[in-house]
Amino acid sequence: MMPHIDLLSQDNQKDLEKLIQDLRLDKDSQYIERCLALGTNKKNGEAIERETLLGYIDQQIAGFCILNFKPAYPPFIKFNIPELQDLNTHPDFRQRGVATALIQKCELLAKQHGAQSLGLGVGLHTGYGKAHRLYVKMGFIPDGEGVVYDTQIIQPHDIRSIDDDLCLMMTKDL
């Protein structure tokens, strides 16, 4: 069955809570509330800062990601490039198109918001190997700024830990 993508809402927030718990992700207790507050549930016509997308297979939560319209990475800010963040797929649902469907939905939403490109950052250690391959396969290329640590461009001879904050930033034209 093809993955189905929904936006996070009050109605499905328990699904995201379950997935975060199942994946043992290090998220604070206010993570989902912030996701709701910054997304389509904003009141008074405020601009949406980010959307949280949930991926389902056979009505079971299979993955999620965030589309951030106000990223912290300076080149994305400068060129008004929304950033795909925090893409996670439950191991039981990998290789079934969930991540691809989430990325495609982010591309569509970014385009609907007037973006000409979509960006993302991918970690450099071995845990991100499959993500590297997926992003390249889907047309993302390095943004040309080199490696970053916590959204800051690394200069020659700088030393950083090889952890989740050491990333290669990538973009795709929409």
Q: pLDDT, tens digit, for every residue of 27-76?
A: 887 888 888 888 865 556 667 899 999 999 999 999 999 999 999 999 99
Looking at residue 139, its pLDDT comes to: 98
Looking at residue 47, its pLDDT comes to: 73
Looking at residue 82, its pLDDT comes to: 98
Q: Which of 29, 107, 105 is nearest to 63 (CA)?
A: 105
Looking at residue 44, its pLDDT comes to: 60
Q: Please, what is the average pLDDT of the chain? A: 93
Query: Is the Cβ–Cβ distance between 95 and 130 less than 8 Å?
Result: no
Domains of the chain and any CATH numbers: 4-173 (3.40.630.30)
pLDDT over threshold 70, residue 119:
yes
Looking at residue 40, its pLDDT comes to: 67
Looking at residue 1, its pLDDT comes to: 75
